[in-house]
Amino acid sequence: MPTSEDRADVLFDLLADSSHTYVTIREETGWSRKQILKAVQVLRDILAANGDVISVVCDPQGPREPWLYRLQAGRDILDAERSGWILNRFTDAERRLKTIKHVLEVAVRGLDGRTVEGRKARIYDLHLRRAQEEIAMMSDGE
């Protein structure tokens, strides 16, 4: 049975040839949507771990259309005219971090700070609060 890493290798080859939606990836591979999403995550992790300048981006094609996955390099990922992916990722990350911070606040109040879990909660909470403060300072300066 193929592993997620095996699927990531196959996905890399598919995307190196052309862009694909999850529908066309499923047609090519027979994978479930969950397997496709996991392969995308693993491929992104592999590329980042290798210090690569490319990543898997995923941009909308239109209302109610499947998003288009493709390999894209460095500055093109950041170019809003070529890809809305990075802006979408920032919005998504900010929302997720806000949710995580709310969960951590509960954990900090509810866990014993002498336990490993309690210390982890406090450390993560500290760093997320600091990151939010720095982002807020950037926004104030603009």
* CATH architecture classification, 4-83: Orthogonal Bundle (1.10)
Q: Exposed/middle/buried for 9, CB within 10 Å: 0-12, 13-18, 19+? A: middle
Which SS3 state, helix, strand or coil, does residue 56 take? strand
Q: What are the structure tokens assigned to 44, written together?
A: 């992104």
For the cut 80, the answer to whether the pLDDT of residue 141 exceeds it is no
Ranges of each domain in the chain:
4-83, 87-141
Q: What is the pTM of this model?
A: 0.69
For the cut 60, the answer to whether the pLDDT of residue 91 exceeds it is yes
Q: Which range (13-27, 31-45, 123-137) has the least confidence?
A: 123-137
Higher-confidence residue: 5 or 61? 5
Question: Residue 86 — very low, low, confident or very high, per pLDDT cuts 50/70/90?
Answer: confident
> Tell me, what's the pLDDT at 73?
79
Q: Exposed/middle/buried for 47, CB within 10 Å: 0-12, 13-18, 19+? A: middle
Question: Residue 58 — very low, low, confident or very high, per pLDDT cuts 50/70/90?
Answer: confident
